[in-house]
Amino acid sequence: MSRFEINKFLSHVEGSDQAVRSYVEDPEGYLARWESRSEGSRLPVPDGGSFTDEERAALVTRDHAALYRLGAHPYVLWHFVEAVRVWTGETTWPEMTERYRSDISGIGTPNIAT
């Protein structure tokens, strides 16, 4: 797929409480519904088809480093991480911030030209 599509998905999930809740409850199912367009007209239609296996795995497991390497914009990714943390309550704010920083700090800046 494309970096645009990854960012579009992250933005969509982060953009509404219902989307975040549905994604957190069943990441694989939510991603499958996104790709199959079965969520109805409220779900934006994917532009490029299906995610690659690597993209899908990173989205399902919320692997910040992999998503960043795959082209997730740091601003969009951060807001996705924030929204998911609110619904999961997995970590405190300082722990989430440190994890995010450590996940992406050694990667550098992905090439945004491709």
Residues 63-94: tens digit of each pLDDT? 988 999 898 998 898 888 888 877 666 777 67
- Residues of the chain whose pLDDT is less than 50? 40-41, 113-114
pLDDT value at position 113?
45
Burial class (CB in 10 A: 0-12, 13-18, 19+), 41: exposed
pTM of the predicted model as reported, rounded to 2 decimal places: 0.77
Cα angle for residues 55, 58, 64 (degrees, 5° grid)? 125
CATH 1.10.700 is right for the domain spanning 3-105: yes
pLDDT value at position 94?
77
pLDDT value at position 114?
43
